[in-house]
Homo-oligomer: A and B are copies of this chain.
Amino acid sequence: MQLKELSERTGVSAASIKFYLREGLLPAGESVHATRARYSPQHASRLQLIQALRTVVGLTIEQIRTLVKLADDGVPRLELLAAVQRTVLGLDQMSTGHGDVPAQAGDAVVRLRNWPDTPSDARDALDAHVARMESLGVPVTTELLDAYSKALDAIADRDISATTAPEDTNELILTAAVGMHLHGQLVLKLLALAQASHAIRRYKNDAAKRNAPPQK
């Protein structure tokens, strides 16, 4: 198919497709002649990937470029998934070493949970984030890390066994990125509900206690 048809099929304007081509998100079509190019279904699926990463996950052009570049370079799938995780959860764009105390929260968590002691982006990001929290005056105790990681261990355990990865690379990135993002948001929303619920319960208890004076 050619550009116009690609545009009509995917619902992306021709101008935008040109933009993505310029930006290197979409590989050039097969140039039949100087003024004619053919696009494959691969292009359509790539376009859908771009679309989803922009509108659903909210990545920037730059981030999408990084991901599709990896895909086009044919890096191993595990590596690709790691990159998706980095990007979707904003584990990139970390200051990476503002000095300070090592903080090594990752070590503590890994030991607490008996997780494999392997360096990873997620671990670096955790260290950086904990350091950031401390520097902003929000203390992170080992007890907190223990409670949090124990709970999330259960979630991850469940998630990982409910996962099947598609063959096609575009689709792999798509499902991985969208899934991670949506599940992450789901966690945040459930946490909000949980906190609200606990707050209400606590508030009610306090009110009850005030009515019937404390017996301490």
- Report which A residues bind B (CB closer than 8 A): 56, 78, 81-82, 85, 89-91, 106, 109-110, 113, 115-116, 118, 120-123, 125-126, 129-130, 132-133, 136, 138, 140, 144-145, 147-160, 162, 178-179, 182-204
Once the chains are docked, how many angstroms separate the CA of A125 from the CA of B185? 10
| Complex contact A185–B151 (CB within 8 A) | no
Closest to A125 in B: B189
- Are A158 and B144 in contact, CB atoms less than 8 angstroms apart? yes
CB of A201, distance to nearest CB on chain B (Å):
6
Q: Is the interface of A mostly helix, strand, loop or mixed?
A: helix
Given contacts A109-B190, A159-B198, 4 further A-B contacts (CB under 8 A): A85-B196, A122-B193, A129-B182, A151-B152
Q: Tell me how far the C-beta of A216 lies from the nearest C-beta in chain B, rounded to whole angstroms.
A: 17
CB contact under 8 A between A160 and B193, given known A116-B201, A154-B147, A182-B138? no
**A152-B187, A155-B147 known; A126 and B203 CB under 8 Å?**
no
Residue of B nearest to A81 (CB): B199
Tell me the bound Cα distance from A202 to B165 in angstroms. Answer: 14
B155→A193 contact, CB < 8 A: no
Q: Count copies of this chain in the complex.
A: 2
- CB-CB under 8 A from A187, the residues of chain B are 148, 152, 187-188, 191
How far is it, in angstroms, between the C-alpha of A150 and the C-alpha of B162 when the chains are bound?
17
Q: CB-CB < 8 A to A191: which residues of B?
A: 152, 155-156, 184, 187
B190 touches A116 (CB 8 A): no
Q: Are B188 and A138 in contact (CB under 8 A)?
A: no
* Given A85-B196, A115-B197, A136-B182, residue A190 in contact with residue B158 (CB < 8 A): no
